[in-house]
A and B are shown apart, each in its own frame.
Chain A
């Protein structure tokens, strides 16, 4: 008797569970329906004299049905996944332990090195055996130093010669991703280390780009002379803009930096006599390799006795931005270990305590702001020389937003995280360029999803800059994000 009651009770809960799930899914479907009304159910189409509306009900109904079924499936399956996700987590720890026991990164990179050597001897890699060394040497160092960073470096060095890396991919995937890696690392100094929310970072990118374009146009200076000048100019602007506003806190700083970004863009559009207005500046000279130009006759190809292709110039540009990004990384890592870098992080942790320890807050914020700006300026000069043409359209607020998203999604203050985020976000959207308009939709949705999944970014926590014993990672729950 008791047993039957228990059984029927369970059956009842299961039943009520199902009906609750159905009810919840129905609510979700109704909300989806309301959201779609009328903005998705009707499309306004321009006719000769006026707008006409075209119905799209079938599509919307399919979408609403999908929401219903999806939500229902989620409701029914999710509670049963509790055990499964525990099991997954346990599997994860077991795998991680196994990984350490087998030898960790050293073994993993060693195995990759073996594969690479085999592929190289079979002639599957680059066209020349010598070029394979670009990948092999960093892998060897990686095995020796047990660091996966060398693996990434090797891949980055080898990328232009990898099988299947066409001119299109090197230019639109490789170079573009590296520009954003560099911008991300530059902004990381401001947002990740010093905890200053800067929504107008693109202004310094623009200053760098226009500085090079104008200096080259009016004074005929070469890229290599203008590069440091562009950085210095951007840093100078960082100081000028930063000085009045850095005593503002948090979101006030954010809106003022955003405003400055917009002001600079509007000035670029309207100061036609200097900047060419919305038409921009074209014919920006390309960089040279110790005076060698990349042209059909008497240039790089002739000098080295190679057949001229436009790929040479692209690969050269690729290595320039790789070197610039690596220099940014090197400088940032180095700065973190200097008093100024520690002061930045301390400022992010507690501004009042910093003041009580005799740290000049304004100056410290200004250095972070201007050094971040300088990296942005360098990247801007590169962007100008890579494109050969710049216009204010390249420097909208969305650029700032995307760079900030890279920094936050990657994990504030983490160099590796920022690089990974740039690769996934920029590389991902470039790979899906065929999807045209949908890719930005997916891009935005992915930003939301990743943030909800990992609010502290992909690589969270921080590594102390100095240690008496072994360095231990500090959990992200302790690390503050700053408020100014």
Chain B
């Protein structure tokens, strides 16, 4: 039972990270109908940005906890801002010139951008795994014990609490943005019909740019969380996490914000449980198989709107 609870906690944490990245995929898909393949690498850039910021701040083991917490908050905000610039630039350079043309063209530029980003980071930062300085890691370890028996305790670590807490807060914030702000209305209008939205005075370019900016900022949050949770990153995490998050977005029903979160949680849970109870070799196979099975029986994803075939 403790083992199960522990896996549940770990799965929810991992799922939160996937969910945050998946939101970026799902928002972009919703508004311009393209798979933003570079999104996983934007997440990776966010993670590296956070790592470098942590190094620049230069925390020591002696820093008080409040300084560490403030440092994390500061790094989070700066990393979100800087990664958002990347999101904006990618859209401006690689996707906007192709808007309204051929559907596969932006897919290819997205793959191209993904290659550019991962190789850029590989060149700039080297190919080796980078570890978060132990000073920071040590100060963040520890947590609450949820239950204990037979010498095995299920523990919620502080890091997991931070991750799940931040995710819930951001989800609430963005749900509010989408449902109740002018930006959210403009986004939903562009999703429905871009031409009509432009005719009624919505600045389509700006709305799409902002969508990319928000998506990139959320990916940066996920990047910081990933760094804090695992303590080690390399230039390749963007691909792996990107594919998982994209799978999560499709599983939940691409275009649906709650769907992305649900899909992220499901993928995180199935991965952790499979690894915990069956073996870690085939955990990705389990996640992908779940996707295939769900899509075969429910082609629009779990929370997606079914596509009505117009004849």
Please list the residues of chain A having a beta carbon within 8 angstroms of any beta carbon in chain B: 31, 34-35, 37-40, 42-46, 50-53, 191, 197, 244-245, 247-252, 254-256, 258-260, 262-263, 266-267, 269-270, 352, 397-398, 401, 404-405, 408-409, 412, 437-438, 440-441, 443-448, 451-452, 455-456, 481, 483
Most buried by B among A51, A255, A408: A255
Report which of A44, A51, A404 forms a contact with B108, defined as CB distance below 8 A. Answer: A404
Please list the residues of chain B having a beta carbon within 8 angstroms of any beta carbon in chain A: 29, 35, 45, 48-49, 51-53, 55-56, 82, 85-86, 89, 93-94, 97-98, 101-109, 111-116, 119-126, 128, 130-131, 133-135, 239, 243, 246-247, 250, 254, 281-282, 284-285, 288-289, 291-292, 295-296, 299, 301, 307, 309, 311
Given A51-B131, A245-B296, 4 more pairs with CB closer than 8 A: A352-B311, A404-B108, A441-B116, A483-B103
Evaluate contact between A245 and B292: CB separation under 8 angstroms. yes
Return A25 CB to nearest CB of chain B, in Å.
15
- On chain B, the residues within 8 Å of A448 by CB distance are 93-94, 109, 112-113, 116
In the complex, what distance in Å separates the CA atom of A405 from the CA atom of B106?
11
- On chain A, the residues within 8 Å of B284 by CB distance are 262-263, 266
- On chain B, the residues within 8 Å of A244 by CB distance are 292, 296
In the complex, what distance in Å separates the CA atom of A267 from the CA atom of B93?
38
Q: How many A-B residue pairs have CB under 8 A?
A: 182
Evaluate contact between A249 and B125: CB separation under 8 angstroms. no
- On chain B, the residues within 8 Å of A44 by CB distance are 51-52, 55, 125-126, 130
- On chain B, the residues within 8 Å of A46 by CB distance are 128, 130
Evaluate contact between B48 and A39: CB separation under 8 angstroms. yes
- On chain B, the residues within 8 Å of A255 by CB distance are 35, 246-247, 250, 291
- On chain A, the residues within 8 Å of B296 by CB distance are 244-245, 248
Instruction: Using CB atoms, name the residue of chain A closest to B304.
Output: A252
In the complex, what distance in Å separates the CA atom of A53 from the CA atom of B54?
10
In the complex, what distance in Å separates the CA atom of A45 from the CA atom of B299?
47
In the complex, what distance in Å separates the CA atom of A197 from the CA atom of B288?
18
- Where chain B touches its partner, the secondary structure class is helix
> Could you write out 9 A-B pairs with CB less than 8 Å apart?
A35-B86, A39-B124, A42-B56, A259-B289, A269-B281, A447-B111, A451-B105, A451-B112, A455-B101
Evaluate contact between A43 and B126: CB separation under 8 angstroms. yes
Pick the 6 closest A-B CB pairs, nearest first.
A444-B115, A447-B112, A259-B288, A444-B116, A455-B105, A448-B112
Evaluate contact between B125 and A39: CB separation under 8 angstroms. yes
- On chain A, the residues within 8 Å of B56 by CB distance are 38, 42, 53
- On chain B, the residues within 8 Å of A440 by CB distance are 115, 119
- On chain B, the residues within 8 Å of A43 by CB distance are 124-126
In the complex, what distance in Å separates the CA atom of A45 from the CA atom of B126?
8
Return A136 CB to nearest CB of chain B, in Å.
39
In the complex, what distance in Å separates the CA atom of A444 from the CA atom of B117?
9
In the complex, what distance in Å separates the CA atom of A307 from the CA atom of B193?
71
Evaluate contact between B291 and A259: CB separation under 8 angstroms. yes
Evaluate contact between A352 and B288: CB separation under 8 angstroms. no
Evaluate contact between A249 and B307: CB separation under 8 angstroms. yes
- On chain A, the residues within 8 Å of B104 by CB distance are 191, 197, 408, 412, 481
- On chain A, the residues within 8 Å of B102 by CB distance are 455-456, 481
Return A158 CB to nearest CB of chain B, in Å.
33
Evaluate contact between A254 and B111: CB separation under 8 angstroms. no
